[in-house]
Amino acid sequence: MNVLTVFLITAGALMAIGVFGILTRSNIIKILLSINILQTGVNLLLIALGYRDGGAAPIITSQVSSAVAMVDPLPQALVLTSIVIAFGTTAVGLVICLNYYMTHKSLDVHTFGNEEREHQQKEVVD
């Protein structure tokens, strides 16, 4: 079982755990945490797909010239972007969770009761 399949299996497992967490958790902060785990899993998958056994890091130094077999640099550039996107989504998600808590007084997703419905009738938006 070479190193690459271990990376791919770990990435796949993390993605599965993230999706499982989104489907089953009822606490909104935990749903955001599982989205974070899903995002870490996908980042791992992308880098693992660019991995080359025994490849050198894609930086040209005095010892390493470009003739040396290098790891694929493109997925690394993509994952750099994806990590910052994950941070942006987490920040906005957390603010929305705070507002959800301030208005619904609970971190639970299932808050839709009649108390909720009569709230909606009163408020008119726009």
Partner 1 sequence: MTAFIVVIGTVMCAGGIAVLFVRSLRSAAVINGVVSLLAALVFVMMKAYDVAITEAAIGAFLSTALYFFAIRRIDEAKDKKGAGDGDEE
Partner 2 sequence: MKNRYQSLIDIAGLIIVGIAVYLVGTALTDTSVAGKGMNSADFKQRVSYRYVIKSVEPSAKMEVKWGESGYEESSANIVTSIVVNYRGFDTLGEVLVLFASSAAVSLLILKRVPKKTFPPTQIMTSSVPLVNLLVFILGSFIILHGHLTPGGGFPGGAIIASGVILMALVFKKAFRPQMYLMLESIAGMGILIAGLLGLMYGESFLKDFFPAGQIGELFSSYFAMILYTLIGIKVAVEISNIGFHFISESKGEEAV
Partner 3 sequence: MKGLNATLFLILPLITAFLLPLGALVHKRFGKMLNLATYGIGIGLGITMLIPTLLTGGAVLNMGGWPAPYGISLYLGPLALCSGIVIYLIALLIEINDINKSRTTYYHLLFNLFVFASIAMVMTTDIFNLFVMMEIGSIAVAGMASSANMRMGSRGGFKYIVMSGLVSMLMLAAIGLLYSATGTLNIAHLASRTADVLNPSFALIVGLGILFALFFEMEQFPFNSWIPEIYEGSSSSFTAALAGIGGIAGTAVLGRIVFTLLQDGYLFYGTFAKLSAVIFTVAIASIVIGEIAALNEKNLKRTLGYSSVAQFGLILAAFACGGSNGALAGIYLALSHTVAKPALLFIAGYFTRVSGSGDWRDMKGIGRKFPLLAGAFIAASLSIMGVPLFFGFWGKFELLQVLLKSGVFGAVAFGAVLFGSIFEGIYLLRIGHSFFVQTSKENMTRYQPKGTLLTAVPVLILVALIVFLGVYPQSIVRSFERIAADLVDKAQYVKFVLPTAALLPPGGGL
Q: Which residues of 94-117 are buried (b: 16+ CB within 10 A; e: fewer)?
A: eeebeebeeebeeeeeeeeeeeee
CB of 95 to partner 3, least distance (A): 8
Q: How far apart are CA 47 and CA 84, in angstroms?
A: 16
Contact set for partner 1, span 33-92 (CB under 8 A):
33-34, 36-37, 40, 43-44, 47-48, 50-51, 55-59, 71, 75-76, 79-80, 83-84, 86-87, 90-91
CB closer to partner 2, 10 vs 89: 89
- In this structure, how many other beta carbons lie within 10 angstroms of the beta carbon of residue 43? 19
What phi and psi values does residue 27 have, to the nearest 5 degrees?
-90, 125
- In this structure, how many other beta carbons lie within 10 angstroms of the beta carbon of residue 48? 19
Report if residue 124 touches partner 3, rule: CB under 8 A. yes
Report if residue 80 touches partner 2, rule: CB under 8 A. yes
Residues lying near partner 3 in the complex (CB under 8 A): 15, 18-19, 22, 28, 31-32, 35, 38-39, 42, 45-46, 49-50, 74-75, 78, 81-82, 85, 88-89, 92-93, 96-97, 99-100, 102-104, 119-121, 123-126
